[in-house]
Structure 1
Amino acid sequence: MTEDLRTEAEPLVIVRQDGALLRITLNRPRAINALTRRMAELVRAAIRGAAETPGVTAIWLDGAGDRGFCGGGDVKAMSSDGLTGALAFLAAEYRADLATARSELPVIGVMDGITMGGGIGLTGHSALRIVTERSRLAMPETRIGIVPDVGGHLLLSRAPGRLGEMLAISSGSMGAGDALMLGFADHFVPSDRLADLAERIAAGEDPEGAARAIAAESLDGSTGAAPVVETPVLDARVWFDPIADAALGRADRAGADGVLADPVGAAERLLRGLETSEHPRARALGAEVRELCPTSVAVTLAQLARTRRDGLGLAEVLADDYRVLGRLLARPDFAEGVRAQLIDKDGDPRWAPDSIEGLDRAEIARILAPHAEGEDPLDLD
């Protein structure tokens, strides 16, 4: 029997016990469960309290409605709440992200449907990450004048070859097949088998074993479900990796040092390599990047390089995200990106500056610099 642990009408987050499973459901379906500060606080509290709930051995994290798990943070609200309010939201969000990774009980993150930005922060670091045929994952931050956060640079840095850079600078998206191959997910489960998976775990089955069994049945066709084989992002390594390696250096310490020494030059070389390539997909990608925030492109290349070079863990990456996002949120590009993409929806942001070539190297260095006097570091406790 399922027991409701909260009683208010239309709660932002529904928390309930179902046998051995504590189920946490984001509950803003009309907004694709876009995260608010209060929602992040509720998720963190539920996860941290799960180990004290008698009989619970695992946590199930999903979203209400049929559009997706989570479309990301509520950036419209964040952009109108002032820098202090935005930083308070980020702190709450990042603490929830870390809670999923450090949970005493395994968290099963269900990325069914749209899972972007803050949605990846909640599920991408969990113990068991599930995708379905409806999954669409993305870190779309360069479209709104910021950079991948919520520990996204950690996941992107571990993707094969230079695909982390490709996804980060272009706000690229991926389906289930690429999510599995790029390390953002662990198992494919058809959407119509999610209830079966939850029921098995609630009955006491090991989450990994139950997910593996259903995934195997699905992928071998025994249930009639089509295997997940499409990997267009992974396939892009053939043409993207050589261009990125030539522009950025190899994905090792020496290459990272070069990018960090001059992120603007690295971005210029990468964009030039894409635009002059003989491969049509490379030229198309170059055209896409031209439409995105130039400052975001240069900063995210540097963040990825630093994460790889220094072997940063999740807590360190989140602290890095908090510092850098605080500086980017204060720039006019963030408000302009939100206006163009989410408020007026004209898709025509006016970036300042409006090109990679126009970037001020001193400003990029300030955005990436260590904490300055007067800036409060992120408290993750």
Structure 2
Amino acid sequence: MTDAVSTEPEVLIDKSGGLGRIVLNRPKAINALNHAMVRQIAAALAVWSGDDEVRAVVITGAGERGLCAGGDIVSIYHDAKDGGTGSREFWREEYILNAAIANYGKPYVAIMDGIVMGGGVGVSAHGSVRIVTERSMIGMPETGIGFVPDVGGTYLLARTPGELGTHIALTTARLSAGDAIACGFADHFIPSERIGQFLETLSTTTVQDALAQFTEPAPASELLAQQGWIDAAYSADRVTDIVARLRGSGIPEAEKAAEQVRSKSPTACAVTLKSLRRARQAGSLEEVLGDEFRVSVACLSSPDLVEGIRAQVVDKDRNPQWSPATIEEVDDAQVDAFFAPLGDLELGLTAPQKQH
């Protein structure tokens, strides 16, 4: 029996009813993505791209907890201490997959039910049909582990209304279904109890017809309702100024946000802010992924990534000792170094030419 459990495939790939089905299948780890899983998903998408029997692709997560809790950060922790080559190549293929999903020529239906974090956002929120439920909890938790939003996350965050994305990134705020739709991370709301029926219907009709039958109005976004104070504070260009504005606002939610930002890696917050500002100016997802790749590789040699993962998921003391310890101590040259070109190691993606 033990053998049967251990040999369970980490990704279930299936074709039926005109659908290419991808099921992330590590439920005990909330379907956290590793390198082998990324390769399997990419290979399936490549095959189905040229398969006329496949009308649409659907990605779901096994188990009750969610689509995907992110990348396998314990593996990254051990690899970073051993030089980081494996993590670098994992990210390379993961980001190439994120771009492939964004440019996929067939409907890519992502069921963003339950927990969808980090790398889980990367395999869902770039899709053409993104469905959330009342159970959805979506986020980019990177600054809490000394890392920076990646998988095209800074591209998505930079395109939210106003400064909502900056708030989400620096505080690691969780998005509800309503928040996700308001912020452009998702498109449609379907109650979780109807997802099974929706997928059955999808195998016998078009994506548009199935959506018309099952989508319902999304709950209101609590985050969008707070955009006033969020925009006022997070429009500053330095993390220290953002925190000062949050603290001086007299708004309890803003003061709480200030403490959340101060608890994250100071270096990661400063690099994240610069990443978001650069992503806002960028012309394509591919350009942003290239920037994110430089930053991710630089994080491997930053003390905060190993320390953040240690504190959150290895030792679980939840007490990271950041270096430097405060946002006031982070200097601009240190931040700029995260964006240094990688020479032959560059990601090198280019946006596809628009068809006229």
TM-score by length of 1: 0.87
Is the CA contact (8 Å cut-off) linking 1:110 and 1:129 kept in structure 2?
A: yes
Check whether the contact 1:97–1:150 (CA below 8 A) recurs between aligned residues.
yes
Residue 22 in structure 1 maps to residue 12 in structure 2: no
Matched, 1:91 2:60: no
Aligned pairs (5 A) from 1:86-125:
86-125=87-126
Aligned to 1:78: 76
Question: Letter of the aligned partner of 1:294 in structure 2?
Answer: P
**1:184 maps to amino acid:** F
Percent identical = 40
Aligned to 1:231: 221
State the alpha-carbon separation in 2 of the partners of residues 33 and 291 from structure 1.
27
Q: 1:340 aligns with which of 293, 308, 311?
A: 311
Q: Post-superposition shift, 1:61?
A: 0.6
Which residue of 1 is the match for residue 354 of structure 2? none
Shift in Å, 1:9:
4.4
Whichever residue aligns with residue 302 of structure 2, its letter is: R
Contact between 2:138 and 2:180, CA under 8 Å: does it hold in 1?
yes
Contact 1:146–1:296, Cα closer than 8 Å, also in 2 = yes
Selected match of 2:272 from 285, 300, 315? 300
Q: Is it true that 1:51 corresponds to 2:49 in the alignment?
A: yes
Partner of 1:376: 345
Contact 1:91 1:380 in 2 (8 A): no
Secondary structure at 1:330 match in 2: coil
Structure 1 residues without counterparts, runs of 5 or longer: 1-7, 220-227, 249-265
Shift of 1:74: 0.2
Q: CA deviation at 1:112?
A: 0.6
Question: What is the DSSP-based 3-state SS (H/G/I as helix, E as strand, rest coil) of the residue aligned with 1:284?
Answer: helix
Instruction: Give SS of 2:58's match.
Output: strand
Partner of 2:35: 37
Runs of 4+ residues over 6 Å off in structure 1: none
Q: Which residue of 2 aligns with 1:130?
A: 131
Secondary structure, aligned partner of 1:231: coil
Question: Paired residue for 1:5?
Answer: none
Aligned to 2:156: 155
The answer on 1:320 being equivalent to 2:321 is no
Distance (Å, rounded) in 2 between the aligned partners of 1:133 and 1:182: 16
The answer on whether the counterparts of 1:36 and 1:73 sit within 8 Å (CA) in structure 2 is: yes
Q: Over residues 247-272 of structure 1, what are the superposed CA-to-partner deviations in whole Å (9 max), with x where a residue is unaligned?
A: 23xxxxxxxxxxxxxxxxx1111111
> Are 2:102 and 2:128, in contact at CA under 8 Å, matched by a contact in 1?
yes
| 8 Å Cα contact 2:287/2:349 also seen in 1 | no
Please report how far the alpha carbon of residue 70 of structure 1 lies from its aligned counterpart in structure 2 after TM superposition.
0.2
What is the DSSP-based 3-state SS (H/G/I as helix, E as strand, rest coil) of the residue aligned with 2:110? strand
C-alpha distance in 2 between matches for 1:277 and 1:354? 24
Q: Which residue of 2 is the match for residue 68 of structure 1?
A: 66
Aligned length: 342
Q: 2:331 aligns with which of 331, 340, 360?
A: 360
1:38 offset after TM fit, Å?
0.3
Is 1:240 aligned with 2:211? no
Equivalent residue number for residue 213 of structure 1: 213
Is the Cα–Cα contact under 8 Å of residues 161 and 237 in structure 1 kept in the other structure? Answer: yes
Question: How far did residue 296 of structure 1 move?
Answer: 0.9
For 2:146, what is the secondary structure of its paired residue?
coil
Q: CA RMSD in A?
A: 1.6
Give the TM-score taking structure 2 as reference length. Answer: 0.93
Structure 2 residue runs without a partner (length 5+): 1-5, 351-356
The amino acid of 1:276's aligned partner reads G
Q: How is 1:252-267 mapped onto 2 (pairs within 5 angstroms)? A: 266-267=238-239
Shift of 1:163: 0.3
Q: Distance in 1 between matches of 2:99 and 2:213?
A: 28
> What is the alpha-carbon distance in structure 1 between the residues aligned to residue 193 and residue 252 of structure 2?
38
